[in-house]
Amino acid sequence: MKFIKNTPKIWIKKFPWKKKSSNKYSRGRVLILGGQKNMIGATILAAEACLRVGVGSVKIICTKETIRILSLKFPSALKVEINNISYLKSFLKKEKKIASVALVGPGAGSNSKTMKFTEEFLKHIKYVILDADALNSFRHKTKNLLKYLDKNKLITPHKAEFQRLFPSIKSSLENKEKVLKFLKLCKSNILLKGSTTIIGSEKKIIKNSHSSSELAVIGSGDVLAGIITSLVGDNKMSILEAAAAGAWLHGDIAKKYGRGLISEDLIKGIPSALKRLKK
């Protein structure tokens, strides 16, 4: 198993910069499972991060309670109202011809509905990033989650979410050791968040220390998930490369901003961070 320090050198050649020939179709579409009404901000943060980093379009899956609010607050994202599992199944069967990347979790709500919806995304969409409530909804049912995870899937837990999913793994272990134990259970990908974030796959483990204590703020993880999701695709980065690049960019924005950072500042900092990376 290779252990690597996260720097742009290990992924910059694969970074999916926009080209003069690019259009919204060539840049791909991301599906995002929209949040509950009281957590709609998490969905917006993730979706805006996706678009600012460079995906062609984002389609948010809403409910009858959230579609109007999202339409008013975030007009540049596409929306579709889906209120039940049967409609979601038929929608995903059609949509997978257009969208191969999905983000599930930010503000989705930790409940059985989220778990069932997440399973459908994992069945039908090639690349899936799971964050926050998409993970919390599998508490006590980790085996149900593990059977769907493969080389094109990514889970992005923080310490508490990891322990809920894997209570048998000692919480006192360092993040690197926790990631190694996860990889013995599952040949997939993980980004375990912390002051030092550990990103792991079957072939290598990447240590990201390019970060800031200012990232310990609500909504920060939603922005990170959106950044990563925007970078993934058949003609873009692999899941592992995108996770490493996303973690580095996320940290770079925070380091540049300094004290007093909130998650909206991370969104505003994406364009200048991309300029610095390009140079």
CATH number at residue 185: 3.40.1190.20
The two structure tokens encoding residue 257: 């901003």
Interval 149-166 mean pLDDT: 97
Instruction: Tell me, yes or no, whether 199 lies in a domain.
Output: yes
What is the pairing mode between strands 197-200 and 189-192?
antiparallel
Q: Which domain, by its residues, includes 58?
A: 26-270
Among 248, 268, 246, which residue's Cα sits nearest to residue 257? 268
Question: Given pLDDT bands bounded at 50, 70 and 90, which one contains residue 272?
Answer: very high
Instruction: Tell me, yes or no, whether 152 lies in a domain.
Output: yes
For residue 99, pLDDT beyond 90: no
Tokens 């912390």 belong to 194
Instruction: Tell me, yes or no, whether 118 lies in a domain.
Output: yes
CB 63 within 8 A of CB 81: yes
For residue 82, pLDDT beyond 90: yes
Interval 43-58 mean pLDDT: 97
Task: Give pTM, 2 decimals.
Answer: 0.98
Tokens 């943060």 belong to 45
pLDDT digits (tens, 9 = 90+) for 178-215: 999 999 999 999 999 999 999 999 989 999 999 999 99
Instruction: Tell me, yes or no, whether 278 lies in a domain.
Output: no
How many domains does the chain fold into?
Answer: 1
Instruction: Tell me, yes or no, whether 1 lies in a domain.
Output: no
Question: Given pLDDT bands bounded at 50, 70 and 90, which one contains residue 1?
Answer: confident
Instruction: Tell me, yes or no, whether 9 lies in a domain.
Output: no
Instruction: Tell me, yes or no, whether 194 lies in a domain.
Output: yes
For residue 68, pLDDT beyond 90: yes
Question: Given pLDDT bands bounded at 50, 70 and 90, which one contains residue 139?
Answer: very high
Q: Classify the C-alpha dihedral 183-186-188-189 as positive or negative.
A: negative
The pLDDT, as a whole number, for residue 22 is: 95
pLDDT digits (tens, 9 = 90+) for 223-246: 999 999 999 999 999 999 999 999
The two structure tokens encoding residue 230: 């925007």
User: In degrees rounded to 5, what are phi and psi of residue 115?
Assistant: -60, -45
pLDDT digits (tens, 9 = 90+) for 12-45: 999 999 999 999 999 999 999 987 899 999 999 9
Instruction: Tell me, yes or no, whether 279 lies in a domain.
Output: no
Question: Given pLDDT bands bounded at 50, 70 and 90, which one contains residue 92?
Answer: very high
Mean pLDDT score of the chain, rounded to an integer? 96
CB 240 within 8 A of CB 2: no
For residue 271, pLDDT beyond 90: yes
CB 227 within 8 A of CB 182: no
Q: Which helix (H) or strand (E) holds 95?
A: helix 85-95
Strands (E), 170-269: 189-192, 197-200, 204-208
